């Protein structure tokens, strides 16, 4: 339902209708529309974190090197955002419903962020206090790319399909340079 028509198209009554139950039945399971929404977001976050974690292994199930795992993480992140635009928007694109804080949604988000932090830590020569700062930079940059792609901003800016793809690769390369530059020094 969210897929066809955006977030506002999610209606508890329509959900109930499609399930063939009364319009109040959902309230026996979720105390409000926002609680349902928050639970949906939680599932997205868990699924997303799983996807990120899986990037530590290659197709054959063999563990990747730390460097490879880090690079793959970025691609898996962007791939996930591209493949599941609605889930991605739910998690990071729209403000969480107010009840999200009450039911501890932030912890699930932290789990996803910790994957990135751990990967980043694994490729550092020495650990100083900038790990969190670097991780935040990488995340915000990758997130920026993902949300630009997801918002179709590039189509609005008259980027061709090819140029848009090139722009994503270009941006990833820039971040790659930052992340790995002190290793080449």
Partner DNA sequence: CCGATCGAGTTGACACTGTCAACCACGCAT
Partner DNA sequence: ATGCGTGGTTGACAGTGTCAACTCGATCGG
User: What is the contact surface with DNA in residues (CB under 7 A)?
Assistant: 10-14, 16, 21-25, 27-29, 32-34
Q: Which is nearer to its own copies, 64 or 143 (CB)?
A: 143
Question: What is the per-residue binding string for its own copies in 121-160, x denoting contact by CB under 8 A?
Answer: ---------x-xxx-xx-xxxxxxx-xx--x-xx-xxxx-
| Rounded Cα distance, 2 and 7, in Å | 5
Which one of 12-20, 48-56, 69-77, 163-171 is the stretch in contact with its own copies (CB under 8 A)? 163-171
For the chain, what percentages of helix, strand and coil (3-state, to nearest 5) are there?
70, 0, 25
Q: Which DSSP helix (H) or strand (E) runs through 67? A: helix 66-83
Beta carbon of residue 9, minimum distance to DNA (angstroms, whole number): 8
Half-sphere exposure of 100 (CA within 13 A, CB side): 20
Three-state DSSP class for residue 145? helix
CA dihedral 60, 66, 72, 74 (to 10 degrees): 160
Residue 167 contacts its own copies per CB under 8 A: yes
Q: How many chain residues interact with its own copies (CB under 8 A)?
A: 42
Rounded least distance, CB 27 to its own copies, Å: 19
């Amino acid at each position: 339902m969210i897929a066809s028509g955006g977030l506002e198209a999610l209606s508890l009554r329509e959900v109930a209708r499609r399930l063939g139950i009364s319009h109040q039945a959902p309230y026996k399971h979720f105390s409000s529309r926002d609680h349902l929404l928050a639970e949906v977001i939680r599932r997205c976050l868990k699924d997303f974190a799983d996807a990120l974690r899986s990037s530590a292994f290659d197709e054959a199930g063999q563990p990747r090197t730390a460097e490879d795992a880090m690079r793959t993480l970025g691609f898996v992140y962007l791939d996930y955002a591209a493949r599941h635009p609605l889930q991605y928007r739910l998690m990071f694109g729209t403000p969480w419903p107010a009840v999200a804080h009450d039911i501890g949604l932030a912890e699930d988000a932290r789990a996803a962020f910790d994957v990135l932090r751990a990967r980043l830590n694994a490729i550092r020569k020495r650990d100083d206090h900038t790990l969190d700062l670097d991780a935040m930079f990488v995340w915000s940059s990758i997130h920026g790319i993902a949300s630009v792609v997801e918002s179709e901003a590039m189509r609005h800016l008259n980027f061709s399909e090819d140029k848009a793809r090139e722009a994503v690769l270009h941006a990833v390369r820039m971040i790659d340079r930052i992340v790995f530059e002190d290793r080449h020094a």
